[in-house]
Structure 1
Amino acid sequence: MLQSFKLAIKSIWGNKMRSFLTMLGIIIGVAAVIILVSLVNGYMGSVVESFASMGVNQINVNVTNLSSRSLSVDQMYGFYEDNTDLFGGLSPNVTLNSTVKHGTDTMSSTSVAGRSEQYLDIKDYDLKLGRNISYADIASRQKVCVIGAYVAQELYGSSEKALDETIKIDGYAFKIVGVVEAQEEDGMEDGGTDDFIWLPYSVAVKMSRNANISNYTFTALDTTKANECKTAIENYLYGIFKDDDLYRVTAMSEMLDSLNDQIAMMSGMLGGIAGISLLVAGVGVMNIMLVSVTERTREIGIRKSLGADKGTIMRQFVIEAAVTSSLGGVVGILIGCVATTLVGTAVGISATPTPAAVIISFSVSVGIGLLFGYMPANRAANLNPIDALRSE
């Protein structure tokens, strides 16, 4: 075996240009698999991360209230209090299409919504200054609000200057009692994560002139029990509405699992497409090895006449093909890893070489060497020694 390996290295080194061209297909194939799969995983990883930041423990509920069948806030809170072993938080949500003003400055893209006192914890945000909306604010319909860092910066110049100031929402004056820490690391923007205002939901309901709230956000105490939480909500709502078309319950963890499945499928598809080049490279390896057998027919005849058996000859050529493919695979891995980092940086994606892509692509390259090297090796092993010695 060692002797066959030494002969393989000697043959590859003796025909450097031909060996390089043979390896080139393997190099390109392996590098392509690593680059494509790693970049896709890097991009989709950022999507999953931003998706997960919405809260994988959150369960969103939308109901359609009818005159004959409707759900009140008190009913939903009653259900929540009866199931505190499942749920960690609840917030009714009332979205408003409002105009926000301070003096002559106006903001039109700001998200204005009514929330409960638990919404800050549901979103896992931290206050920078002031206090959160309280249950007393909701009960007495106080015109107070908590604002995002972008609103504070744009209308008041800083969070410190915004605290305890007055802001007008649809002409109503609200006192700013709290400012939330900035969520955007790379700078805040209009309509972004930090561009929001939270009011007591009781005040928002009155401003919307709608008696019933149709949207709620729950949090599951245990993310692994999200399905159990979802089922409990669905069973409760069905008991009220008697029609599952009148409500929709969405667990964020389920959506995240579905997204991960799609990412895995997409990575596999792209890896398979890139892997086609490895198949083409395998054909190239076989062709070059057939040429090598033809060129070394006389050498094979001499070795056979000196006592080399069929297995020895076959092993020599199979090992040579495998070594060629393996060297190409190693070079392809190095190029793929470097290119992944460079391309990821260029397009602004945090992409790192995927271990699975590296291992699979290298294993396939070695397998291709063994598979496509078998036919030339078998041909060499079956040569008649006398005919081989007569070859010129």
Structure 2
Amino acid sequence: MNFTQSFKLALNSLRTSKMRAFLTMLGIIIGVGAVIVILSLGNGMTNMMNEQFETLGANLVQAMVWPRGEGGTRDVDADDLYDLVEQYPQYLTGVSPYVSASAKVRSGTESFDRTSVYGVSESFFKSDTQKTMQGESLSKGRFLRYIDVERHQNVCVIGAYLELEAFRGDALGKSLSIGGIPYTVVGVLSENADNTEGSGDDKVYIPYENASRLSGGSHQDMYLMTSTSRDTAAAAKGIIENRLQKTYQSTDYYMVMTSAEMMDAMNTMMNTMMIVLVAIAAISLLVGGIGIMNIMLVSVTERTREIGIRKSLGAKQRDIRSQFVIEAGTTSAVGGVLGILFGVALAAVATALVGGLMTSGMGGATFTAAPSAGDIAVSFGVSVGIGVLFGYLPANKAAKLNPIDALRYE
């Protein structure tokens, strides 16, 4: 009996006992479906994060510093990093402190409790790209200027959501209360997320020293800097690290990362998490394989006389073994196909349900959970392999049956 005949017999066996076949394949279906969903979500998250980092640009460098507190002779401040940019114009083009302020935002009697307030410098907005260091663009007005930051003027740039909710779409020149202090709106950002409360469109930018005062005069601990190009980002990072090392004499007080390094770190973390989750989901495949082995052992018992007849007619051990191995492989292959369809359907549901939430949290980057062709091919191959592996023991048992004993079996 050749492969085609064995395959047709296997399909016929599945058709004649549909419920038993489905229950046998259930472990494979759940296991493959779970793996497909997990890989799809991982692909969606990775692509979304990469898209987000691309909007930041490959020349962004982020520096985090932690003040030494009491007993420390000196800490690095914004002026030190401004001097560094002036000293190395061939590598660095701008620096902006990035201060997160804890302040209440109000417009008239309406309060916006989830609005984020950030303090930045005029360098946060790049004149060459007409975008901020975080990839945001202006739809109205202007961004903060040097004179605004230098004189600590009470002016602000707001997100699209805040303009719509607080000013009904006409915010320029209007006043907004931040921490009890009136600020004049001089610019409005383009819609960047889903324009809802707490999203990337619900934010305010003010001069960084103003934000520092709102937060109780805390030390600026985060700086965003830009290199002249993608190729000079590594050199720019080295210059910043040397300057911080000169002051702190220890890497315990600072950390510098380029946007490319941040993207690589996030991808590494995502890949590690995916491996762990896929390994957990693969337990279902193991359970499915055991189910196939059990049902094949039952099948061998039920077809003992058939095996005896085939052997008496000249069938060899390898013929019997291959027939049952092909049957087990076919069962797991069909289960794998159903599992893939199940996983793709769940991934589509995840895209619809989770996509909007993830998009708003990542500044407008799109989220699509979809498996790659490689993921599908590997999942199908693993499902078939499990069927063949766990089907070999029953197949080998069938192949070694004595034909006389098999014919006499009732």
Q: In the alignment, residue 158 of structure 1 is paired with which amino acid?
A: G
Matching residue of 1:164: 173
Matching residue of 1:265: 272
Matching residue of 1:366: 384
Matching residue of 1:92: 97
**What is the DSSP-based 3-state SS (H/G/I as helix, E as strand, rest coil) of the residue aligned with 1:123?**
coil
Alignment of 1:1-392 (within 5 A): 1=2, 2-39=4-41, 42=44, 57-62=60-65, 64=67, 68-94=73-99, 96-98=101-103, 110-120=115-125, 121-139=132-150, 143-159=154-170, 162-167=171-176, 174-185=183-194, 187-189=195-197, 191-201=198-208, 214-222=221-229, 226-346=233-353, 350-392=368-410
Deviation at 1:271, TM superposition (A): 2.1
Distance 1:31 1:214 in 2: 45
**1:89·1:122 contact (CA, 8 Å) conserved in 2?**
no
Q: In the alignment, residue 188 of structure 2 is paired with which amino acid?
A: V
**1:143·1:199 contact (CA, 8 Å) conserved in 2?**
yes
Distance 2:215 2:346 in 1: 54
Distance 2:284 2:212 in 1: 61
Deviation at 1:367, TM superposition (A): 0.8
**What is the DSSP-based 3-state SS (H/G/I as helix, E as strand, rest coil) of the residue aligned with 1:277?**
helix
**2:38·2:277 contact (CA, 8 Å) conserved in 1?**
yes
Consecutive unaligned residues in structure 2, runs of 5 or more = 126-131, 357-367
1:101-131: CA deviations, max 9, x gaps?
Answer: 6656665665444422221231222111122
Deviation at 1:322, TM superposition (A): 1.1
Q: In the alignment, residue 266 of structure 2 is paired with which amino acid?
A: L
Deviation at 1:228, TM superposition (A): 4.4
Distance 1:247 1:36 in 2: 35
Range 63-72 or range 117-126, more displaced:
63-72
Distance 1:20 1:208 in 2: 62
Q: In the alignment, residue 84 of structure 2 is paired with which amino acid?
A: F
CA distance 1:363–1:246, change in 2 (3 Å):
closer
CA distance 1:331–1:194, change in 2 (3 Å):
closer
Distance 2:180 2:28 in 1: 68
**What is the DSSP-based 3-state SS (H/G/I as helix, E as strand, rest coil) of the residue aligned with 2:97?**
strand
**2:325·2:392 contact (CA, 8 Å) conserved in 1?**
yes
1:306-365: CA deviations, max 9, x gaps?
Answer: 222222222111111111211121122222222332354345564334545433332222
Deviation at 1:239, TM superposition (A): 1.7
Distance 1:16 1:196 in 2: 58
Range 311-320 or range 286-295, more displaced:
286-295
Distance 2:31 2:84 in 1: 58
Q: In the alignment, residue 35 of structure 1 is paired with which amino acid?
A: V
**What is the DSSP-based 3-state SS (H/G/I as helix, E as strand, rest coil) of the residue aligned with 1:374?**
helix
Q: TM-score, normalised by structure 1?
A: 0.81
1:3-57: CA deviations, max 9, x gaps?
Answer: 3333333444444443333223322332233234434654676677668767773
CA distance 1:182–1:13, change in 2 (3 Å):
closer
1:203-260: CA deviations, max 9, x gaps?
Answer: 6678889698554211345557655433321111112343444434344544443332
Q: In the alignment, residue 307 of structure 1 is paired with which amino acid?
A: G
Deviation at 1:148, TM superposition (A): 2.8
Q: In the alignment, residue 134 of structure 2 is paired with which amino acid?
A: K
**What is the DSSP-based 3-state SS (H/G/I as helix, E as strand, rest coil) of the residue aligned with 2:136?**
coil
Distance 2:166 2:9 in 1: 77
Q: TM-score, normalised by structure 2?
A: 0.78
Range 314-323 or range 228-237, more displaced:
228-237
Q: In the alignment, residue 382 of structure 2 is paired with which amino acid?
A: V
- The aligned length equals 388
Deviation at 1:139, TM superposition (A): 4.8
CA distance 1:359–1:226, change in 2 (3 Å):
farther
**1:223·1:253 contact (CA, 8 Å) conserved in 2?**
no
Distance 1:137 1:153 in 2: 25
**What is the DSSP-based 3-state SS (H/G/I as helix, E as strand, rest coil) of the residue aligned with 2:225?**
strand
Consecutive unaligned residues in structure 1, runs of 5 or more = none
**1:65·1:212 contact (CA, 8 Å) conserved in 2?**
no
